[in-house]
Amino acid sequence: MTPVATPFFFYMLSGLAVAGGLLVVTRRNAVHSALSLIVTLLAVAGLYLMLYAPFVAGVQIIVYAGGIMVLFLFVIMLVSLERTIKERQFNRMWPVGLAASCALLALFLAVFEKGKKLFEDRPLPPLTENNNTQQIGLMLYGNYMFAFEIASLLLLVAILGAVIMAKKRI
Amino acid sequence: MLDSFMSYLGSTVTPGEANNQLWAMIYVLIIFAGVSVAVMAMNWLERKALAHFQVRLGPMRVGPHGLLQPIADAVKLLIKEDIIPAESDKFVFWIAPLIGLLASFTVYTVVPFGPSQAVSDMNIGILFMLGVSSLAVLGVVMAGWASNSHYPLIGALRSSAQMVSYEVAMGLAVVSAILMTSLHGAGLYGVAKLSDGTGTLSMIGIVQAQQEQQVWFLFKFFPLGLIAFVIFAIAMIAETNRAPFDLPEAESELTAGFHTEYSGLRWSLFMLAEYAAMIAVSSIAVTLWLGGWVRPFPHWLSGPTWDFIFALFPGLTFLGLGAIAFLGTVRMPKHAYFRVQTIGLAAFGAVLALIGVFLLAIVIGAKVSPHDILNRTTEGLSNVFWFVFKVAVFMYLYIWYRATWPRYRFDQLMRVGWKVMLPISLGVLIVTAIVGVLLG
Amino acid sequence: MNDRENAVSNLDLETPEKPYLDSNELIINMGPQHPATHGVLRVILKLDGEKVLGTECVIGYLHRGVEKIAENRTYTMFNPYVDRMDYVAAVSNGLGYCQAVEKLLNVEAPPRANYIRVILTELNRIASHQLWLGTHALDIGAMTPLFYTFRDREEILKIFEKYCGARLTTHAFRIGGCQYETYAGFEKDVKNFLTFVAPKIGEYEELLTTNRIWLERTKNVGVISGPDAIALGVTGPVLRASGVKWDIRKAQPYANYSQFDFEIPTGKNGDTYDRYLVRMEEMRQSLRIIEQAVNGIPEGPIMAKVPKVIKPAVGEIYHSIEAPKGELGYFIVSDGSTQPYRVRVRPPSFVNLQALDVMVRGMLVADVVAVIGTLDIVLGEVDR
Amino acid sequence: MVPITTIHYLVVAAALFVLGVIGVLTRRNVVIVLMSIELILNAVNLNLVAFSRMWGGLQGQVFSIFIVVDAAAEAAVGLGILIAFFRNKETINVDEIDLLKW
């Protein structure tokens, strides 16, 4: 796997991701939001590939785009109300929220600006070997065994919770 | 330019790995054209084979034995009015078929037609394939929702539930095959060796593992490989919404399911995507369990003589097809009315025979005067031929299933998916792991 | 539009959890243009997800006023019209009408005519069941039986065509007997057909009877109990599959059915699978009847003495026969003129269709299709 | 052109994060709020993977996989709650969900 780490691809993918994110937040129709979120997710998967993380990219596509987003679309279709589209889309305190978020962005940028030197000193290390997936597997079943088990327990609990919540009669 | 064109020819890796973008592009174009032609051929074959299953003739009018029927259909669909319902969500309606098509064609970038006959060999090949083919469900859901109509919506909900549920069993079956790549063992219950870190997700790596272990994963740890394969073979029919799992398109219940409101070109894109996806999942099955491009009995019937004999198969197949066409010419009624058809069929047979002779010439040429490029071409031809041949068997099975079985009901489908296939595939996975460790 | 609202409001539905959630109740209009409603039946389905909460049949798209037409035609002139009701089993329709008028006239058809009638009617029963099997299997998703049954039905239609010139709406019988003498080789054709079709029925069964998917799709689907079926007036194979041994050919023998030896197949569970088995067995029994009839066919006249102008005495008559789909009855009132005062047809499809709602409640959408198929309705007969 | 360094990825991640925060803070539709949370999680993931690339280790990628697991669990439970809520109140607006019990 040799992704092409050209700036062009980076700017294209990150542009897609940010544009998709913007549409998620601003679209009136929830289905459109979900579709733009899918664009974002795929673009982020592309960015993972550029960062030599093919396994994470694969997981991102399978779990996010193929699983979670289908779930979202399912629920949107189930609860789709004509009137939610006609209603006011933003809550009353949206200016406050927007201002706070902008402040957060400013903070982030300030931090990056300040710490820029830290990063520039370190060029990206050369590519690790091609067995990224194996390494991740070894780590998951080695160092992170306990965390992995807890994650599986979390999923089990989530399944039970979702079923109990969504089922009409059990 | 010419240098970079020629430089790849001697290479033994895929253009993606060799970082040769020109050849990657050429491969992409070849695969795109090849799949499109295959879909057309499949269309014709399905109608003919289905017709003969059902004591009728199928298309006979457009060209000899209806050979030009797919082209006529394509032209008809292209010039048909493209209806977009007034109440639909125009943009989503417009983009949905493209997503389905994109998903099913992107998969082909990692399909290994041979050790170097693939666009690229990804580290996460099989994961990529499963992931991208799972994106096809988005196209279906979008199409159903955007039509803003009841039948498509129910069809879309059905098919998304179906595809998501069968993906689970499918994934587990795939995992058990991947597990086998790291469990070395000669033959059925021969000596297995648990090797550390030789397992792979790469499609080419999986086939090479089968080559090294000298066994198709179908027969490995018999019957574990077989069970996993059967699970996959069932799940892949459900994934592609084909009979007997074609509920999303159940015409007797939902008229046409999620593509009820589509017409003309857009509808044909859905069909194209469906057939392309059928070929794609069949190639996953072939890669994982049937030894991919590896010819039958590579070890039992080994040696240069056998290699040569098996390399003759592609040419002989085309010659055989040509012979069948000529037989058809002879059997054509001797009436002036049929003259054009007879000539057409003879020309078709001649083209097939020419291709066959050409392929044979390459193989025999390589045998008589070994030359690097000739040798490689021979090998490549043989690889691609065996891969395509195995996929073609699956394509025929698809037709056979469709002619034989009634359709499942939705709850039964879900029951089969979750209560039968999932436990079995989990069990197979666990037992495979245990057997692998015990023999290691 | 109003039509639809009315139809929906007529569904008296008791959904127990109504206050909790009725937001995903979906009203779907199935038909009149729908591939699985066998013509122009329109079913309004009220669904909860895929579960059917209630159905409402909207009929009349093929209404041609057959009964009204009868009042303006002489008895003879009306005869061809009945063929157009159940166009799949036109011969049975003609038989019922002719016999009803004969009863009104107190005329008895001669024995040879009766034998010809029985042979043709039973052939028609097989043809009707074959058509039913093909379309029913197609509804459930099995494409292939359709073509097999149509291939074999063709042989029956060929015999009809040779006998009376028409394939579908035959108008084979006349009041008082038959119009046409059998053509030379009729018996040979029928015997050939018997040997031809017997293994074919096995062929259909091979495809379906033990097919797992077929079993799952038909067992316990559209169950109706015997008492329910009687209460709804259901007749024919649908009733017999519920375990009620009621066949007018045995119960009130007409023509010369009493001379033949045959069984009445019955089912136990009253589900779609039993109805399938009953119909398959009925085809075999029909073959038995045809065999006996063709071997015992007597010589003699084919027409009773019927006046040129049919003018029955004042009175009324009800006569019913066992059509392929159930009890087909004709109620004719005569005012002594050349035209009937009133003709009322009791069509089996129409009455059987009533059972649809009972059979599909609580089932899934896919079962609605299966049940419509298994009821074997012909919309020409439902709407008349 | 400037070569792409870690900071570039961090900026993209920050932008996605802030967009997600805006969505969570301002939108009324619960589904979109949940999707915005997915955006935030993605931004975090991107950061983790970028740092793991920078340091050459794989811990970041392993963590991002855990986060994906978490996102799946969160989406399932969140949407389950949403459906249960929608059944009772016929609304999916956050600011109408203001009672602890009903």
In order, the DSSP letters of C339-362 are: SEEEEEEE-HHHHHHTHHHHHHTT
The CA distance from A6 to C338, in Å, is 96
Q: With the CA atoms of A149, A155, A158 and A162 taken in that order, what torsion angle do they form, in degrees rounded to the nearest 10?
A: -150
Residues of A in contact with D35 (CB under 8 A): 24, 33-34, 37, 72
Claim to verify: residue C47 and residue C93 sit in the same structural domain: no
Residues in chain B: 440
Q: Which residues contact C379 (CB under 8 A, 6 or more apart)?
A: C38, C39, C40, C41, C59, C61, C62, C349
To the nearest whole Å, the CA of A76 is away from the closest chain C CA by 12
Q: Which residue of A has its CA nearest to B120?
A: A1
Look at phi and psi of residue B273 and say left if phi exceeds 0, alpha if psi is from -120 to 50, else beta: alpha
Q: What percent of chain D has pLDDT over 70?
A: 94
Contacts of C20 in chain A (CB under 8 A): 168
Overall domain count for chain C: 2
Taking an 8 Å cut-off on Cβ atoms, the answer to whether C146 and B407 are in contact is: no
**Which CATH number does the domain housing residue C187 bear?**
1.10.645.10
Rounded to whole angstroms, the Cα distance separating B179 from B428 reads 11
HSE toward the beta carbon, residue B406, CA cutoff 13 A:
29
Would the CB atoms of D56 and A76 count as touching at under 8 Å? no
A67 in the same domain as A14: yes
> Residues B432, B194: contact at Cβ < 8 Å?
no
Comparing B212 with D11, the larger pLDDT belongs to D11
Tokens of B422: 């999932």
Out of A56, A86, A116, pick the residue that ends a domain: A86
Is the complex ipTM higher than 0.95? no
Distance between A167 CA and the closest CA of chain D, angstroms: 8
According to DSSP, the residues that pair with C333 across neighbouring strands are C316, C342
Whether chain A has a CB inside 8 Å of the CB on B89: the answer is yes
Q: Return the beta strands (E) in chain A as ranges.
A: none
Q: Which of A98, A124, A151 sits opposite D5 (nearest CB)?
A: A124
Counting DSSP H helices and E strands in chain C, the numbers are: 16, 8
At least 3 CB pairs under 8 A between chains A and D: yes
The count of CB pairs under 8 A between chains B and C is 84
Nearest residue of C to residue D90, measured between CA atoms: C23
With beta carbons under 8 A apart, name residues in chain A contacting C24.
78
Structural domain of residue B227, as residue ranges? Answer: 15-294+385-439
- Regarding chains C and D, contact by 3 or more CB pairs under 8 A is answered as yes
Whether residue C173 is contained in a domain is answered as yes
Tell me whether residues C217 and B252 touch, CB distance under 8 A: no
Q: Which of A66, A86, A106 is the last residue of a domain?
A: A86
B153: chain A residues, CB-CB within 8 Å = 77
Kindly determine whether residue A56 and residue D49, on different chains, have CB atoms separated by under 8 Å.
yes
Q: Note down the domain range covering C246.
A: 72-351
pLDDT of res. A167: 74
Separation CA A50–CA B376 (nearest Å): 33
Token match 């019913």: residue? C320
Residues D47, D64: Cα–Cα separation, whole Å: 9
| Torsion angle of C-alpha atoms C208, C213, C219, C223, degrees rounded to 10 | -100
Instruction: For residue B296, list its beta bridge partners.
Output: none
User: Could you tell me if C233 and C345 lie in one domain?
Assistant: yes
Q: What is the CATH number of domain D6-96?
A: 1.10.287.3510
Mean pLDDT calculated for residue range D13-39: 88
| B 127-156 near A (Cβ less than 8 A) | 127-128, 130-132, 134-135, 137-138, 141-142, 145, 153, 156
* Cβ–Cβ gap D80/A161 under 8 Å: yes
Beta carbons of B407 and C141 less than 8 Å apart? yes
Answer yes or no: do C147 and B54 touch at CB < 8 A: yes
Indicate if C26 and C169 belong to the same structural domain.
no
Residues on C contacting D at a C-beta cutoff of 8 Å: 20-21, 23
Query: Residues 27..56 of D with a Cβ closer than 8 Å to A: which?
Result: 27-29, 31-32, 34-36, 38-39, 42, 45-46, 49-50, 52-56
The band of B353, judged by pLDDT with boundaries at 50, 70 and 90, is very high
> C148: which chain B residues are within 8 Å (Cβ-Cβ)?
54-55
Q: Which residues 6-35 in chain C show a CB within 8 A of chain A?
A: 17, 20-21, 23-24
Coil vs helix vs strand at C32: coil
- pLDDT band, residue C6 (cuts 50/70/90): very low
Q: Which positions in chain D touch A161 (Cβ < 8 Å)?
A: 76-77, 80
- Asked if the C-beta of A70 comes within 8 angstroms of chain B's C-beta atoms, the answer is yes
Residue B377 falls inside a structural domain = no
CB contact under 8 A, C217 and B250: no
Q: Residue A111: inside a domain, yes or no?
A: no
**Average pLDDT, whole number, for chain B?**
82
What is the pLDDT confidence band of residue C221, given thresholds at 50, 70 and 90?
A: confident
Residues C263 and C132 in one domain: yes
In this predicted model, which residue has the larger pLDDT, D89 or B1?
D89
Contact C144 B54 (CB under 8 A): yes
Decide the pairing of beta strands B192-194 and C25-30.
Answer: unpaired
Crossing angle of the two packed helices D30-55 and A69-79, in degrees rounded to 10: 170
Q: What is the C-alpha separation between B229 and B224, in angstroms, rounded?
A: 9
Q: Is residue B299 part of a domain?
A: no
| CA R_g for chain D | 17
Q: Inter-chain contact A69–B138, Cβ cutoff 8 Å?
A: yes
Residues C250 and C292 in one domain: yes
**pTM for the model:** 0.84
Is C381 inside a domain boundary?
no
Q: For B308-336, write each residue's pLDDT tens digit.
A: 888 888 889 899 999 988 888 888 888 88
Bridge partners, residue B185, by sequence: B192
Residues of D in contact with C20 (CB under 8 A): 87-88
Contact of D66 with chain C, judged by CB distance below 8 Å, is answered with no
CA nearest to C86, candidates C353, C340, C328, C371: C328
Cβ pair C20:A78 closer than 8 A: no
Instruction: Note whether residue B311 is domain-resident.
Output: no
Comparing CA positions, the residue from B277, B221, B252, B243 lying closest to residue B101 is B277
- Work out the mean pLDDT of chain C and round it to a whole number: 83
CA angle C9, C15, C19 (to 5 degrees): 95
pLDDT digits (tens, 9 = 90+) for B100-138: 888 888 888 888 888 877 787 777 888 888 888 888 888
Say how far apart CA C357 and CA B400 lie, in whole Å: 36
Q: Please check the confidence at residue B268 and state whether its pLDDT lies above 50.
A: yes
What pLDDT is stored for residue C3 in this prediction?
47
- Model pLDDT for residues C109-159, shown as the tens digit of each residue: 888 888 888 888 999 999 999 998 988 888 888 888 888 898 888 888 988
* Confidence tier at A64 by pLDDT (50, 70, 90): confident
Q: How confident is residue B423, by pLDDT bands cut at 50, 70 and 90?
A: very high
| Other beta carbons less than 10 A from residue B43's beta carbon | 19
Residues A80 and A138 occupy one common structural domain: no
User: Contact partners of C by the rule of 3+ C-beta pairs under 8 A?
Assistant: A, B, D
Cβ atoms of B77 and B267 closer than 8 Å: yes
**Residues 6+ away with beta carbon under 8 Å from A80:** A30, A31
Identify which of C327, C173, C175 has the alpha carbon closest to the alpha carbon of residue C249. Answer: C327
Cα distance between residue C286 and residue C124, in whole Å: 10
Domain ranges of chain D: 6-96
- Rounded to the nearest angstrom, the minimum Cα separation between A61 and chain D is 11
**A78 → closest Cβ in D26, D62, D83:** D83
* Cβ pair A59, B139 in contact under 8 A: no
Per-residue pLDDT tens for C181-217?
888 888 888 888 888 888 888 888 888 888 888 888 8
- 8 Å CB contact of D80 and A94: no
Tokens of B173: 């079956």
> Taking CB atoms and an 8 Å cutoff, what residues of chain A touch D25?
93-94, 96-98, 100-101
- How many domains are contained in chain B? 1
Nearest CA to D53 out of D61, D45, D65 is that of: D61
Q: How far is D86 from chain C (nearest CA, A)?
A: 9
Task: Tell me: do C41 and C164 sit in the same domain.
Answer: no
Who among C28, C143, C364 is closest to B411 (CB)?
A: C364
C141 and C234 both lie in a single domain: yes
Closest of B336, B304, B280, B302 to residue B211, by C-alpha: B302
Q: Are residues C84 and C33 in the same domain?
A: no
Strand partners, C26: C47
Whether B205 and chain A come into contact, CB under 8 Å, resolves to no
3-state class of B293 per DSSP? coil
Mark whether C31 and C150 lie in a shared domain.
no
**Which chains, if any, share at least 3 CB pairs under 8 A with chain D?**
A, C
Q: Count up the domains in chain A and report the number.
A: 2
The CA distances from residue C143 to B402, B403, C189, C351, in Å, are 8, 6, 29, 29
Q: Which domain holds residue A13?
A: 1-86
Residue from the list D7, D8, D28 with its beta carbon closest to the beta carbon of A88: D28
Judge whether A22 and D19 are in contact, CB under 8 Å: yes
Q: Out of C17, C20, C24, whose CB is closest to A78?
A: C24
Look at residue B309 and tell me if it is in a domain. no
**pLDDT for position B9:** 64
pLDDT on residue B262: 85
* A169 falls within a domain: yes
CB contacts, 8 Å: A33 with chain D: 31-32, 35
**Strands C173-174, C177-178: pairing kind:** antiparallel
Query: Is A30 within the bounds of a domain?
Result: yes
Question: Which of C33, C58, C83 is the last residue before a domain boundary?
Answer: C58
Phi first, then psi: give them for residue C54, nearest 5 degrees: -175, 160
Residue A93, in any domain of the structure: no
Q: How many of the other CB atoms lie within 10 Å of CB of A112?
A: 15
Work out the angle between the directed axes of helices C144-164 and C186-208 (0-180°, nearest 10).
170
* Residue C382 falls inside a structural domain: no
A98 within domain boundaries: no
Gyration radius from chain A CA atoms: 20
